[in-house]
Structure 1
Amino acid sequence: MIRIHCCHDSKTYLFKYSNSTGDARERVTKVKDSFIFEYPCDSISKCEPYVIQFPKGSYEIELWGSSGGSGRENNSPVLCEKSGGNGSYVKGHLHLKTFSKFYLYLGSQGEDQSKTDEYSIPAKGGWNFGGDGGIDKNSTKFKPTSQSGAGGGGSVDLRNEYIDINSAAIDQSILTKSLKSRIMVAGSGGGAVSDTNRNGLPGRKLFASNNGEYMFGGTQTSGELGIGKNGIDSDKNQGGSGGCGSGYRGCYHNFPLDLTTLSAYEYGGSGGSSYISGHPGCISPHYPSTAAADEFTPFHESHFYFTNTLMRSGDESMPDPFHDNSIIGHYGHGVCRIRFLFDPYCQTHFIIFPHYFSFSIYMILFCLVSE
């Protein structure tokens, strides 16, 4: 167990976690009245959420979606850097009347397209349900086969129901309950491929873009809730598609299985959509998929909602989470920044409970606020 006590002053405190491989990096950084949370694991396929306990007060919360993995140049070993779709950005002010606990799931970046000597191994989707890249199991154009897709980015969200998504057998009812408890989600980018439509598409705002006739971005009502679909595989030299980006609703596809044209499936994955409870145009998860957005649909059934909301797609200008400038979309693992909207005298405890190959991180904020 590691504890770091942070008082409200000009110092910056770094939180370090050593995983089972012995590697250590800064995971949480305190800068003035803000905390920056970074992806806390070294594996992109197995991680745990942060558990954040907020006292009564007002907070600005920002999320940056993760990016999809990159493809390789003309199915060669040369990587096309940053060709996966970038993550989106969401922001809002959360006003809490009572002590409240939330779970922060920072999805990871999708894995890059497999190398030519690893063509039969699908590129992994990012943790928190990014879709795996598709593979071509029987290429006649390239020897060895490398017509595969990169993994899609994992979703980035704040929710109030925990679930261990590392389990081999996930209870679907518990998973659905947890996914429906999300009150803020940043859509993540799709994985790239190597052909003409090589780039993965970005995570977007209310509606993510389609890539071609059969690859669809998540929206407020279409796409699986919180899950990006795996890329399509082929065994007749049609190629493999990029993995879908996850988000509020993940990317999905419906390629006809009788398409036999060379490289017919080589499309970059689309991105996932975003959601903020209280943001105009959003449709909360307790509404049916046939619902149309109105003045009531944005508000989550938990009654937690945000004001002063903002969304930016992964191909638009957004704040840099680490510097005082702007970026076009977010590249890398998911990030969260939380800022106090009051001037507290705050003591913060960071507590880690390691257990076997996973862990839980608790951030408990005890703040004295003058009323």
Structure 2
Amino acid sequence: MNSWKLKDSSKGHEGLVSDDNFQNSVIFHYPCSSNYDCTYYHSELPPGIYKFEVWGADGGDGMYHSTYTKRPGKGGYSVGAFFINKTTNVYVFVGGKGENGLHPSTRDAKGGYNGGGDAPSDKVGSNNDSGGAGGGATDIRIGDVDLDSRVIVAGGAGGTGFDTSYVNIEITPFGGGLTSSLPRSSGGTGVAASQTTGYQKGNGQKGIIGSLGTTTSGGGGGGYFGGNAIAESYGGQAGGGSSYIDGVFSYGDIVKNATNGESEMPLLNGVGKGNS
């Protein structure tokens, strides 16, 4: 196992395990007790061809009349090979799950580490209709820690909101895919995060207070581009963040791919949807 360390060891502990099915493999677990205040792994890797697999984090669940919508979005999955031709600094950012809407809603729900958008508190009325926060993206960066050094990204899911249950939105705010989920509300849909657009590179949008002032929307998921939030009279569910695989390639039985959180994908404990 390579000598991986956390950038800020005061925030967590290395959650590293090896996979007995693969030589020289490392599985990175989320290292922090806080879903939003975390840090990244770093190491130097020697020359070679590496398989990268990343899973984005789930979004938070929003409230509808004091009850959770129970339709949280799942993070996406990306895979591909990468060639390192000389000893190189490598950085692994593992996304944190978006916080569920709070009841009572005394503060903002916190977006997951690595780009998840917060969901604002519901400060009007009975304080029980706040959105869920967006999940963070998981990505690998080569050579530097800036966003432009990402070679593979799995988008985090958006948070649900009041409208998820109010208008019975059946499509979850999944993260991942080259184009992620649309923000959805009682008034229609917004713009999905993709390879060229979204709220911001890396970051999902903070949720929006509905025009009636009584509910708040979910926060956007982190991603290559973060997801957008949406609200009409009430708070909608946000879009997930997009994935990115242009920095990796297919090699042998490794086929580069970006799968959204609504789809079947390989998991560490089998096959399923999302990263759980």
> What is the rounded CA distance, in whole Å, between the counterparts of 2:103 and 2:230 in structure 1?
26
For residues 136 and 161 of structure 1, do their structure 2 counterparts lie closer, same or farther at Cα, with a shift above 3 Å needed? farther
Q: Verify: 1:221 aligned to 2:196, yes or no.
A: yes
The one-letter code matched in structure 2 to 1:145 is N
Amino acid in the other structure paired with 1:314: G
Distance 1:247 1:134, change over 3 A: same
Partner of 2:264: 317
Q: CA deviation at 1:136?
A: 3.1
User: TM-score scaled by structure 2?
Assistant: 0.84
- Per-residue deviation, 1:71: 2.7
Equivalent residues of 1:193, 1:200 under 8 A apart? no
Secondary structure of the structure 2 residue equivalent to 1:67: coil
Within a 5 Å distance, the mapping from 1:219-258 to structure 2 comes to 219-223=194-198, 224-234=200-210, 236-253=212-229, 255=231
Alignment of 1:169-318 (within 5 A): 178-194=146-162, 195-196=165-166, 197=168, 200-212=172-184, 213-223=188-198, 224-234=200-210, 236-253=212-229, 255=231, 264-278=233-247, 305-307=248-250, 308-318=255-265
**Letter of the structure 2 residue corresponding to residue 225 of structure 1:** K
Q: Letter of the aligned partner of 1:218 in structure 2?
A: A
| Corresponding letter in the other structure for 2:215 | G
Q: Secondary structure at the match of 1:31?
A: coil
Aligned mate of 2:34, from 43, 46, 52: 43
Match of 2:59? 68
Q: What SS class does the counterpart of residue 90 from structure 1 fall into?
A: strand
Q: What is the distance in 2 between the residues matched to 1:88 and 1:132?
A: 19
Contact 1:114 1:146 in 2 (8 A): yes
Distance apart, 1:211 and its partner CA: 3.1
Q: Distance in 2 between matches of 1:239 and 1:246?
A: 22
How far apart are the structure 2 equivalents of 1:71 and 1:36?
A: 31
What is aligned with 1:152? 134
SS at match of 2:89: strand
Q: Distance in 2 between matches of 1:67 and 1:120?
A: 22
Contact 2:89–2:144 (8 Å) recurs in 1: no
Alignment match of 1:97 (pick from 85, 100, 119): 85
CA distance in 1, matches of 2:123, 2:86: 55
Q: Which residue matches 2:111?
A: 125
Runs of at least 5 residues in structure 2 that lack an aligned partner in the other structure: none
Output one character per residue of 1:188-237: Cα deviation in whole Å (capped at 9) or x when no partner. 10112243256750013111121333543211111111110000024733
The Cα shift of 1:46 comes to 1.3
Contact preservation (8 Å) 1:214, 1:253: no
Q: Is the 8 A contact 2:207 2:230 kept in 1?
A: no
Per-residue deviation, 1:31: 1.9
Where structure 1 has 5 or more consecutive residues not aligned to the other structure, the ranges are: 1-5, 8-14, 164-177, 279-304, 332-371
Say whether the 8 Å CA contact 1:217–1:250 is kept in structure 2.
Answer: no
Amino acid at match of 2:195: Q
Q: 1:133 deviation in Å?
A: 1.0
- 3-state SS of 1:306 partner: coil
Q: Which amino acid aligns with 1:114?
A: L
**Counterparts of 2:50 and 2:265 in 1: how far apart (Å)?**
19
8 Å contact 2:62–2:129 — kept in the other structure?
Answer: no
Percent of counterpart pairs with the same letter? Answer: 33
Offset of residue 114 of structure 1: 0.5
The alpha-carbon distance between structure 1 residues 25 and 254, as it changes in their structure 2 partners (threshold 3 A), is: closer
Question: What letter is aligned with 2:139?
Answer: D
CA distance in 2, matches of 1:26, 1:80: 33
Aligned length: 258
Q: 1:235 to 1:277 in 2, by over 3 A?
A: closer
CA RMSD of aligned residues (A): 2.6
**Letter of the aligned partner of 2:175 in structure 1?**
G
Q: Conserved in 2, the CA contact under 8 Å of 1:137 and 1:233?
A: no
How many angstroms does 1:75 deviate by? 2.6
> Alignment partner of 2:147: what SS?
helix
Task: Check whether the contact 1:68–1:200 (CA below 8 A) recurs between aligned residues.
Answer: no
Secondary structure (helix, strand or coil) at the match of 2:201 reads coil
TM-score, structure 1 as length reference: 0.64
